[in-house]
């Protein structure tokens, strides 16, 4: 079988996890990493400004930048020349993001898989599936580190480093498993715990975090300022969560040692789907909900039935 020629855009935790996974998967040929920073990767690295030179030399790109600032702008440009897969996770922008991209991808005859991680991604699929079958479906995240929320804090002026833990409201989880529908606001289902290393105005930073739309506004959020030394104990990127229905009739649970490694695994799996869609002439912007599971494999999928 012909290997899929791929490249990584962005070399943070997710990009590094993908590099490791792709180098160990014979179906892929990892050509290079693109970054705006001066990085040392295991494969060739090029500045983002050179990416256009790789048109027709790469089958698909893995976009690994942050949703808050990078992906939307990058995607709009890159769809002219490349297929790509991303894990864009800014929930409130997803609809516009996909519909804009859909139009452009159809036009330029490219295939994009968007919002492809575990949430959005696998959890999105479970929500649709569970609601269609049972109804009364709930999602809980954590306890774990949200990379998207941590990055959003790091993007604030005066923040040196930050980590955000998402915690489920355990009482409410228990209530649902006992068959009682909770009578609360969605944002009461979780608590957001932030640890921040700052060199700027702490009050202003705290205010900016707590009022950040989409990410923190409306949630019970605690912000604790710590020093760089203390931050070292917060480097384990574990996460998890569950999607469930009343009485726990249907339950999908993830227990992740490393959030970026697992997200990278989901993206790698759906990169196979992207390639299969593209080779079938299916152009456009796809979410996981738009993709029949069979596209995930090149072997005889009937064996899984």
Q: Return the half-sphere exposure (C-beta side, CA atoms, 13 A cut-off) of residue 93.
A: 18
Residue 25: helix, strand or coil by DSSP?
A: coil
The angle formed by the CA atoms of residues 8, 108 and 48, to the nearest 5 degrees, is 30
Q: Which residue of 184, 201, 269, 280 would you call a contact of a second copy, by CB under 8 A?
A: 269
- CB nearer to a second copy: give 85 or 291: 291
Query: What is the Cα–Cα distance from 262 to 258, expressed in whole angstroms?
Result: 6
Task: For the CB of residue 164, give the shortest distance to a second copy in the complex, in Å.
Answer: 21
Can residue 197 be called a binding residue for a second copy (CB under 8 A)? no
Q: Return the half-sphere exposure (C-beta side, CA atoms, 13 A cut-off) of residue 142.
A: 19
Can residue 174 be called a binding residue for a second copy (CB under 8 A)? no
Q: Which of residues 221-260 bind a second copy (CB under 8 A)?
A: 247-257
Query: What is the Cα–Cα distance from 289 to 155, expressed in whole angstroms?
Result: 30
Report the phi/psi class of residue 195: left, alpha or beta, with left for phi > 0 and alpha for psi in -120 to 50: beta
Six token digits for residue 286: 């796809």
Q: Which residue of 141, 262, 278, 283 would you call a contact of a second copy, by CB under 8 A?
A: 262
Task: For the CB of residue 73, give the shortest distance to a second copy in the complex, in Å.
Answer: 20
- Nearest CA among 120, 128, 123 for reference residue 139: 123
Can residue 293 be called a binding residue for a second copy (CB under 8 A)? yes
Can residue 265 be called a binding residue for a second copy (CB under 8 A)? yes
Provide the mask over 22-61, with x wherever binding to a second copy is found by CB under 8 A and - wherever it is not. Answer: ----------------------------------------
Task: For the CB of residue 209, give the shortest distance to a second copy in the complex, in Å.
Answer: 25
Write the CA distances from 130 to 134, 169, 291, 304, integer angstroms. Answer: 6, 21, 17, 21
Can residue 21 be called a binding residue for a second copy (CB under 8 A)? no
Q: Are 250 and 259 in contact (CB under 8 A)?
A: no
Query: What is the Cα–Cα distance from 173 to 182, expressed in whole angstroms?
Result: 9
Q: Are strands 44-47 and 159-168 parallel, antiparallel or unpaired?
A: unpaired
Q: Which residue of 8, 33, 115, 209 would you call a contact of a second copy, by CB under 8 A?
A: 115
Q: Which of residues 122-151 bind a second copy (CB under 8 A)?
A: 122, 124-125, 127-129, 131-134
Task: For the CB of residue 60, give the shortest distance to a second copy in the complex, in Å.
Answer: 16
Task: For the CB of residue 151, give the shortest distance to a second copy in the complex, in Å.
Answer: 19
Task: For the CB of residue 269, give the shortest distance to a second copy in the complex, in Å.
Answer: 4
- CB nearer to a second copy: give 208 or 263: 263
- CB nearer to a second copy: give 133 or 184: 133
Burial of 64-88, coded b for 16+ CB within 10 Å and e otherwise, reads bbbbbebbbebbeebbebbbbbbbb
Cα–chain-centroid distance for residue 298?
A: 24
Q: Near a second copy by CB under 8 A, which window of 88-96, 168-176, 213-221, 229-237?
A: 88-96
Which residues lie near a second copy (CB under 8 A)?
91, 94-95, 98, 115, 120, 122, 124-125, 127-129, 131-134, 247-257, 262, 265-266, 269, 272, 287-294, 296-297, 301-302, 304-305
């Amino acid at each position: 079988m012909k290997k899929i020629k791929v490249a990584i855009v962005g070399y943070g935790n997710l990009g590094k996890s993908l590099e490791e996974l792709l180098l160990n998967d014979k179906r892929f040929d990892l050509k290079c990493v693109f970054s705006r920073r001066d990085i040392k990767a295991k494969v060739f690295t090029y500045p983002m400004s050179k990416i256009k030179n790789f048109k027709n030399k790469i089958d698909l790109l893995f976009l690994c930048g942050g949703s808050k600032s990078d992906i939307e702008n990058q995607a709009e440009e890159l769809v002219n020349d490349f297929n790509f897969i991303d894990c864009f996770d800014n929930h409130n922008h997803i609809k516009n993001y996909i519909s804009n991209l859909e139009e452009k991808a159809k036009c330029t005859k490219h295939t994009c898989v968007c919002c492809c991680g575990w949430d959005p991604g696998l959890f999105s699929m479970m929500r649709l599936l569970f609601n269609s079958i049972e109804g009364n479906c709930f999602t809980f995240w954590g306890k774990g580190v949200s990379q998207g929320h941590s990055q959003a804090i790091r993007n604030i002026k005066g923040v040196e480093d930050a980590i955000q833990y998402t915690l489920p409201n355990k009482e409410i989880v228990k209530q649902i498993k006992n068959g009682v529908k909770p009578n609360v606001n969605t944002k009461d289902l979780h608590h957001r715990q932030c640890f921040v290393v700052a060199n700027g105005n702490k009050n202003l930073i705290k205010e900016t975090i707590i009022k950040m739309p989409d990410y923190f506004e409306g949630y019970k959020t605690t912000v604790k300022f710590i020093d760089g030394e203390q931050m070292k104990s917060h480097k384990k990127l574990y996460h998890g969560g569950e999607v469930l229905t009343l009485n726990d009739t249907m339950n999908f649970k993830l227990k992740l040692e490393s959030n970026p490694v697992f997200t990278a695994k989901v993206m790698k799996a759906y990169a196979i789907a992207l390639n299969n869609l593209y080779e079938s002439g299916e152009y456009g912007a796809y979410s996981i909900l738009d993709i029949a599971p069979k596209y995930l494999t090149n072997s005889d999928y009937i064996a899984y039935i």
